[in-house]
Amino acid sequence: MPKMYVIQTGRTTWDDQTRVDSAPGAPLTESGQQDVQDVAKELASRAISIVYASAGQAEQETAQLVARALGAKVRVNKDLRELDYGLWQGLTREEIKRRQPSLYRQWTEAPASVRPPGGETLQEALERLGEAMRNILKRHRNGGALVVLRPVALGLVKCLLRRDGVESLWDNVNETSSLDVFEAGMNDLDGS
């Protein structure tokens, strides 16, 4: 079964400010860059020839750092982007909590039941990410691919692969850059 390598981006300036960011993203902090370089060292012995990431700033910075260390190519896949937070984009958690306390509480307690105003649901993001991961796996049946994701996108992919359901999202989200190795077949990404 092919192995799919998945890493989370390094911390961004918006992560440090507890701001939510989606498509355009924010730049990596110095510590975020160092975390990515540390993960790249862990990957050095693996046969990775291509790194996939969305066009977001943190994803691209992370992908470029890792690809440079591994001598790999970077490919953009727009469907690997972070959850679309809509009108929450750029707000801090405290600003969201103050402006929409009931919706924010629902988001923390039952995230699958919430659509951020103007954004996408977790189920919609899960389906988008699942399709993107299936397409990558089809192209790289023998392995050699690495995927870079933002924290919530990575949490959703973990939910999919572990068949946890989006209700367990917060159990699958890390605050720091991490390396996850999944031995995944097409059936592992079907969401059933």
Alpha-carbon Rg for the chain in angstroms: 16
Q: pTM to 2 decimals? A: 0.89
Residue-number span of the structural domain to which 81 is assigned: 3-189
CA-wise closest residue to 148 among 46, 65, 24:
65
- The CATH number of residue 133's host domain is 3.40.50.1240
Q: How many domains does the chain have?
A: 1
The per-residue pLDDT for range 140-165, each reduced to its tens digit, is 888 789 999 999 999 998 888 888 88
Residue 124: which residues within 8 A CB-CB, separation 6 or more? Answer: none
| 104-130 pLDDT, tens digit each | 999 989 989 999 999 999 999 999 999
Characterise 41 by phi-psi region: left (phi > 0), alpha (psi -120 to 50), beta (else). alpha
